[in-house]
Structure 1
Amino acid sequence: MLKLDHIAVACEALEEGRAHVEQALGVSLEPGGKHARLGTHNLLMGLEDGVYFEVIAIDPEAPDPGLRRWFNLDDFQGAPRLTNWICQTDDLDDALALAPPQMGQPIELTRGDLRWMMAAGIDGRLPFDQGFPAIISWGASPHPSTRLKPSGLRLERLIITNPQAAALRAALAPLVSDARIVIEQGDVGMRAEFSSPTGQKVLE
């Protein structure tokens, strides 16, 4: 089974993403870093239960990576919004054997001293219009959540709406069993609900 690793907000500019998230959640994001292979950069926030949160955008200072970026960032437009969830595994090959073929081949990525393998869809597009999770394996690398300050936020529900909800549930069934993950019929979208010392917080 896969384990929820982190969730991601995509944005056209990192500071726009920061403002969107910090206004909604009332907690400051921490610096992340650059992903040289894909020409992106991010900001981070630690959540409870070893999960973390990421704001990600194309790095305007990075050269063209020569391949399409993850999370469909090359086609992203509009206001910052929650677009992706990422699950971890200790056996990437076995996980991908049970996942839809549109997951694509895993690639090796780095950020600072972190190194990981990740499958994030063919040409950066994940199955079910981003409704299926990217799959990551950290190997011997430390997990980013261990380096982040506690935010006091706990993810209670991640609601994924999709016009193919039944098919998405079926595709996830052999891989994901997490009561926090809710699949609902509807237009493509995501909504995260958090508990915090000051009450419920919602991010879309």
Structure 2
Amino acid sequence: MLDHLVYATPELDRTVEELAGRGIALSPGGPHPGLGTRNHLAALGGSAFLEVIGPDPEQPDPATPRPFGVDELTAPRLVTWAIQVPDLDTALDRARALGHEPGDAVPMSRRRPDGVLLAWRLAFPPDNEGGLVPFVIGWGDTPHPSRTAAPGTSLLSLRGEHPDPQRLGRVLAALGAELEVTEAAEPALVAELATASGTVVLR
């Protein structure tokens, strides 16, 4: 099940303002301690949300590169997506049994602006095929971010472009994920969103 989309940017405040101008309201999510990033969120309907993530100027430069290739970005980009599973370890074992390496589970946490601590576990694949292979996330008992994310936006469609859709389809099947993928020269993830100001396409 789709958990969230990740829209990464080299300048978070500017991108949040730009998206607001296009009709996408975002609420502050919070910093990721030690990673040098923070995020803003928009609910997309159901238990899905849009995460806009970028450098956090209030944190020192991290010891390792910021996640999602933030340090290399020159413009905002829809970099990947996440699927939510009820049992992360079981989902990872199933993917490996079906021939896909989903990565190891890593615990993470951040504190919301209201002080509530969110804690979750996720696994990043060693190769996400240009963002088309989702990472897997399990929230456990923590409150899901979609509950407090800014309303007003809904996801109309999510699709992918890839040089080898059939091979990618086998990887997605190992994860129990579904994504319409068409053949293209370069990988791309494309989301169509409905907002108060009309339709917005992120890629």
Q: 1:20–1:80: 8 Å Cα contact kept in structure 2?
A: no
Match of 2:58 among 58, 61, 71: 61
Write out aligned runs for 1:125-164 (5 A): 126-151=127-152, 153-164=153-164
Secondary structure of the equivalent of 2:10? coil
SS across alignment from 2:46:
helix
1:69-127 CA-partner distances (Å, limit 9, x unpaired) = 432334x32210111111111111222221522x32121111110000011234xxx42
The question of whether the paired residues in 2 share the 8 Å contact of 1:155 and 1:194 is answered with yes
Offset, 1:164: 2.7
The answer (yes or no) to whether the contact 1:49–1:154 under 8 Å persists in 2 is no
Determine whether 1:193 maps to 2:196: no
Structure 1 residues 105, 159: closer, same or farther in 2, change over 3 A? same
Partner residue, 2:123: 119
**SS across alignment from 2:13:** helix
TM-score, with normalisation over the residues of structure 2? 0.85
User: Once superposed, what is the RMSD of the aligned Cα atoms?
Assistant: 2.0
**Structure-1-length-normalised TM-score:** 0.84
- Mark the runs of 5 or more structure 2 residues left unpaired by the alignment: 112-116
In the alignment, which of 85, 89, 92 is matched to residue 93 of structure 1? 89
Could you tell me how far apart the structure 1 residues matched to 2:177 and 2:132 are?
15
User: Once superposed, which parts of structure 1, at least 4 consecutive aligned residues long, lie more than 6 Å away?
Assistant: none
Q: What 5-or-longer segments of structure 1 have no aligned partner?
A: none
Offset at residue 58 of structure 1 (A): 2.6
With over 3 angstroms needed to count, the CA separation of the structure-2 counterparts of 1:37 and 1:116, relative to structure 1, is farther
Change (3 A) 1:65 1:198: closer
Distance 2:34 2:82 in 1: 19
1:36 maps to: 33
Aligned to 1:16: 14
CA contact (8 A) 2:9 2:54 kept: yes
